[in-house]
Amino acid sequence: MLHLLKIGGAIVDDPVLLEEALLAFAAVPHAKILVHGGGQAANDLAQKLGIEPVMLNGRRVTDAATLDIVTMVYAGLLNKRMVARLQALGCNSLGLSGADLNIIRATLRPPHPVDYGFAGDIQEVNVPQLDQLLRLGMVPVCCAITHDKAGQLLNTNADTIASGLATAMSALYDVELYYCFTKPGVLADPDKPETVIPDIHPDNYRQLKSSGVIRDGMIPKLENAFLALERGVSRVIIGSVAAIHPDSKAVKTVIRR
């Protein structure tokens, strides 16, 4: 089995939650991969350098200067801090961008209908290389930077990277994909943590979406989850840090076919 955990920006930004996430991840007993987002650190550095971050439809517009910043923060500072902490926890991890070992090759996203700048869409995952690392007992820690194999780095959405890696690795492994964020799962009422929807499948998803219970940014997350299941991933989970370990009894949302 392969456990693939994606931690979002809100987890990365909170030292307490990040420590809890890394502790739980380090305790996962089987093969595992960590994918992390960027959090607020890239915006903070950009503003210190006099560059105002630009977001469209919830996604970063990555011009040349911004690409330098997100590469420094995602592939450098944040990635290496997590790797160092995992090493302290006895988890022999290796920090990677998509360019390292040609792990993730992407292509520049077309500028139409929206120009996101140096944004990358995944084209290929180097499954044999990742498999070799896992068989050596290493734990890949992947950031949101990819490359086009022609020398150009690209910024790729971390949720997309997690889904792409999980889908590709399902050719060799029974893959469980876990999207971790601050809430305990998909909520029927976003203001009430106790309203976690324990199971979402295509039938009730359509009902929840049409009634407005599932809306906005949760829609693409769930559609990506269903797509991952269609492409071979065994199970997709959405939940909090408390449910990271596979044996955890914490409440969570399980996405099913």
Per-residue pLDDT of the chain (257 residues; tens, 9 = 90+): 999 999 988 999 999 999 999 999 999 999 999 999 898 999 999 999 999 888 887 778 999 999 999 999 999 999 999 999 999 999 999 999 999 999 999 999 999 898 999 999 999 999 999 999 999 999 999 999 999 999 999 999 999 999 999 999 999 999 999 999 999 999 999 899 999 999 999 989 999 999 999 988 788 788 889 989 999 999 999 999 999 988 889 999 999 88
Residue 32 domain boundaries: 2-50+72-103+126-146+157-255
Q: What is the pLDDT of residue 81?
A: 97
Q: Is residue 245 part of a domain?
A: yes
pTM to 2 decimals?
A: 0.95
Q: Is residue 57 part of a domain?
A: no
CATH number reported for the structural domain that contains residue 235 in this entry: 3.40.1160.10
Distance CA 99, CA 74 (A): 13
Per residue in 127-147, pLDDT tens? 999 999 999 999 999 999 999
Residue type, 242: A
Distance CA 151, CA 75 (A): 16
